[in-house]
Amino acid sequence: MKIAVLPGDGIGKEIVAEAVKVLNALGLKFELESALVGGAAYEAHGHPLPESTLRLARQADAILFGAVGDWKYDQLDRSLRPEQAILGLRKSLGLFANFRPAICYEQLVGASSLKPELIAGLDILIIRELTGDIYFGQPRGRRQAADGPFPGAQEAFDTMRYSRPEIERIAHVAFQAARKRSKKLTSVDKANVLETSQFWKDVLTEIHAQYPDVQLQHMYVDNAAMQLVKAPKAFDVVVTGNMFGDILSDEAAMLTGSIGMLPSASLNGSQQGLYEPSHGSAPDIAGKGLANPLATILSAAMMLRYSLNQPAAAGRIEAAVQKVLAQGLRTPDIHSPGTTRVGTAQMGDAVVQAL
């Protein structure tokens, strides 16, 4: 079981170190190899995703990823900015299926912006297509407008596009995930306006015929953004395109109030996957031992389950995380009166202890 460890920037190093600590405590045999990615790689090699890092990622069964990005790279050309590393990894490895659970832990209900009764017990799974859509669609760029309201003016453009096989494969992933849960799938699109969305909706409806035991509901993206606020627990599994998924998965994550707890998995068709916390690189608190490592530790659990065929070990980690929460241990982002404030390493140690 070969794992590429890519800590990245900001708090990435600290949180990945704790996840590695937890992996090493499982008593399993892993081959771990680290490499630079993001701003750290740009500084060392002039590119956020150097060839050597990409090679390591390709050869690994799974990638444990921290976070990338820092304001200090804002002025770089887009192709050199840290985020390109994550986009490049997704595309190069074909990681088309992004799993973003939004779970509200019993002990952290109070951290949410929402009233407790609306959020307690929340457990939804957003499945975001991750290698298509307007994120990667060609053509894109700047040019002189040939038509539109201001012909001749300078304009910028991007292409949203989805082909049938791209939609089919994410649809199968989503229906299968729904089958393992409550058998309710919500597909989010903007079919009343977009051709791509209408096609998405048509293909989802077709594939649904193969999953008659799953209930499929279509919802417009604007309405989904509203319903998530109004009654998040009405959702179970949600599937959507790359762009809408970016927005809705972050909205759903923030509803829980504790994004420091939320892992994610990005898979291709051969069980290879990239695992990263849902939160960012938080350069403002980097190096201070304040970051919450639990989202990364839970991402390592997802890695064991989805890419490394170690569901029992995954379950042990998840149970250990539940245990440290029950013990009242809290990093600053989830701290509340009456609980015990701990730092990044202490939290990692406590999870190891609880194993």
Ligand X SMILES: CC(C)[C@H](C(=O)O)[C@@H](O)C(=O)O
User: Is 236 annotated in the active site?
Assistant: no
Sign of CA dihedral 8, 347, 251, 122: positive
Of 253, 308, 325, 350, the one binding a copy of itself (CB under 8 A) is 253
Q: Pick between residue 192 and residue 340 the one whose CB is nearest to ligand X.
A: 192
Q: Is 158 in the site for ligand X (CB under 6 A)?
A: no
User: Is 189 annotated in the active site?
Assistant: no
- Using DSSP's 3-state secondary structure scheme, residue 65 falls into strand
Q: Is 259 in the site for a copy of itself (CB under 8 A)?
A: yes
Task: Read off the tokens for 7.
Answer: 């800590």
Closest CA to 334 of 295, 278, 281, 301: 295
**Rounded CA separation 29/27 (Å):** 7
Residue 252 Cβ, how far from ligand X at the closest point, in Å? 12
Closest CA to 91 of 49, 62, 38: 49
Q: Which does 86 bind (CB under 5 to 8 A by kind): ligand X, a copy of itself, none?
A: ligand X
Of 158, 246, 251, 318, the one binding ligand X (CB under 6 A) is 246
Residue 30 Cβ, how far from ligand X at the closest point, in Å? 25
User: Is 74 annotated in the active site?
Assistant: no
Q: Which does 312 bind (CB under 5 to 8 A by kind): ligand X, a copy of itself, none?
A: none
Contact between residue 341 and residue 332 where contact means Cβ atoms under 8 Å apart: yes
CA distance to 22, 162, 209, 213, 355, per residue, from 15 (Å): 11, 35, 43, 40, 18
Contacts of 333 (CB under 8 A, 6+ apart): 258, 260, 290, 291, 292
Q: Pick between residue 107 and residue 249 the one whose CB is nearest to a copy of itself.
A: 249
Q: Pick between residue 194 and residue 290 the one whose CB is nearest to a copy of itself.
A: 194
User: Is 21 annotated in the active site?
Assistant: no
Q: Which does 180 bind (CB under 5 to 8 A by kind): a copy of itself, ligand X, none?
A: none
Whether the link from the prior residue into 151 is cis, omega within 30° of 0, is no
Of 31, 195, 206, 284, the one binding a copy of itself (CB under 8 A) is 195
- By the 10 Å C-beta count (0-12 exposed, 13-18 middle, 19+ buried), 346 is classed as middle
Contacts of 325 (CB under 8 A, 6+ apart): 105, 106, 107, 108
Residue 52 Cβ, how far from ligand X at the closest point, in Å? 22
Q: Is 153 in the site for a copy of itself (CB under 8 A)?
A: yes
**Rounded CA separation 170/223 (Å):** 22
Q: Is 234 in the site for a copy of itself (CB under 8 A)?
A: no
Per-residue interface string for the shown chain with a copy of itself, residues 102-131, x marking contact by CB under 8 A: -----------xxx--x------------x
Please tell me which residue in 13, 42, 133, 190 is annotated as part of the active site.
190
Closest CA to 175 of 132, 232, 214, 229: 214
* Binding site listing for NAD(+): 280-292
* Binding site listing for Mg(2+): 222, 246, 250
Q: Which residues are catalytic?
A: 135, 190, 222, 246, 250
**Binding interface with ligand X (CB under 6 A):** 83, 86-87, 192-193, 222, 246
